[in-house]
Amino acid sequence: MSRESVRFAVLGPIRAWRAGAELDLGRPQQRVLLGLLLARAGRPVGLSEIVDALWGEDPPGSAVNVVRRHIGILRRTLEPGLPLRAPGHWLLREAAGYRIAVDADSLDLLRFRRLRERAGEAADRSPGRAVTLLTEALALWKGPAGADVSVEIRARAFLDVLDRERLAAVKELADAALRAGMTAPVLDELRKAALANPLDEPLLARLVLALAATGQRAEALETHRAAVARLADELGLTPGRELSDAHAAVLRDSRPAARPAAGSAARSGAALGGESADGGPPLPRAAYSEPRPAQLPQDLPAFSGRRPQLAKLSALLPE
């Protein structure tokens, strides 16, 4: 069977198709196992990590044998004519675990990452092109990563990190859209992300600016007011620098100038938080160090922009 005849999805429900027909992935544990391998996108996954993903802190004594049985069933689901115990083309045995052999043509996650990388390359010279690429990348998502598994499983790191990549891409989309003057088409994506991440200050700052850039100044100010109230009520915090700067920009001008994309300010000699390129009001400081697929996950979004305060608190702790 050719590799091109099977496709996988993990950006939403965990799914697989062979020759265009969706496959029955069987028991919930088999679906979770496939989701873990897909989330690792072609990298080996050790048996201990698989056991932890399936059972958490209390695995049965037969866990390893159960994993091997699930692997065998999944192999024959993907390749029905596969002889018993044959390795197949997709689920490969590694020294200490398993790997699924996928690429950007067979897995939506790798297509998403490829589009996001291309958008990053285009952001400085052609922000409009970056908007197009990021919009295409985000359209691959059909819900939270692993949307059809239990809430307990979805909260585990191997799926949560994918949702963080999606959030980072939304912020990059906002930055490119603001710079290109294309904010109206991306407002729905920003609103959905803000609804799912109501304490993420960098995201909310971008939404405030995007609303103002489309002439919706009143909604921008109300979005800021609601964010300030949530931060106070749920975390006991006041707004950080980025959200405050966005609010100030809206008060100064109902259509704040677009912020530079990552790295452009340094190349032009302007500091973040300085004057805009077209002489408009000063631009708010942005958090451009969004995680790339090869990096560790970003910090918890509720504490975005809080590093100075956390550093002071850490200094007060005894050695």
Lowest pLDDT segment from 229-233, 245-249, 303-307: 303-307
Q: What pLDDT shows up at residue 222?
A: 97
Q: What percent of the chain has pLDDT over 90?
A: 69
pLDDT tens digit sequence for 127-160: 999 999 999 999 999 999 999 998 888 888 899 9
* Residues 79 and 159 placed together within one structural domain of the fold: no
Residue among 11, 51, 23 at smallest CA distance from 146? 11
pLDDT tens digit sequence for 268-295: 333 333 333 333 333 444 433 333 444 4
The whole-model pTM stands at: 0.78
For helices 201-213 and 241-252, angle between their N-to-C axes, nearest 10 degrees: 10
Q: What pLDDT shows up at residue 143?
A: 95
| Last residue of one domain, picked from the residues 69, 84, 100 | 100
* Residues 127 and 55 placed together within one structural domain of the fold: no
Return the CATH number at 23. 1.10.10.10
| Last residue of one domain, picked from the residues 100, 118, 150 | 100
pLDDT tens digit sequence for 179-210: 999 999 999 999 999 999 999 999 999 999 99
* Residues 221 and 126 placed together within one structural domain of the fold: yes
| Mean predicted lDDT score pLDDT of the chain | 83
Pair 30, 74: CB distance under 8 Å: yes
**318 or 67, higher pLDDT:** 67
* Residues 250 and 184 placed together within one structural domain of the fold: yes
Average pLDDT on 4-19 reads 92
* Residues 40 and 126 placed together within one structural domain of the fold: no
* Residues 47 and 92 placed together within one structural domain of the fold: yes
* Residues 79 and 115 placed together within one structural domain of the fold: no
Contacts of 304 (CB under 8 A, 6+ apart): 200, 201, 202, 240, 242, 287
pLDDT confidence tier of residue 168, bands split at 50, 70 and 90 = very high
Return the CATH number at 214. 1.25.40.10
Query: With 60 as the cut, is the pLDDT of residue 113 above it?
Result: yes
Lowest pLDDT segment from 44-48, 276-280, 295-299: 276-280
Number of domains within the chain: 2
Distance CA 277, CA 288 (A): 17
**311 or 171, higher pLDDT:** 171
Distance CA 119, CA 239 (A): 30
| Last residue of one domain, picked from the residues 73, 100, 127 | 100
* Residues 208 and 281 placed together within one structural domain of the fold: yes
Which ranges of the chain would DSSP assign to H, the alpha helix? 28-39, 47-55, 63-78, 108-122, 127-138, 151-154, 157-180, 187-196, 201-213, 217-230, 241-252, 264-268, 307-316
Q: Show the domain range for 309.
A: 108-316
pLDDT tens digit sequence for 74-107: 999 999 888 877 778 899 998 889 999 999 999 9
* Residues 144 and 216 placed together within one structural domain of the fold: yes
Q: What percent of the chain has pLDDT over 70?
A: 78
* Residues 96 and 114 placed together within one structural domain of the fold: no
Q: What pLDDT shows up at residue 315?
A: 56
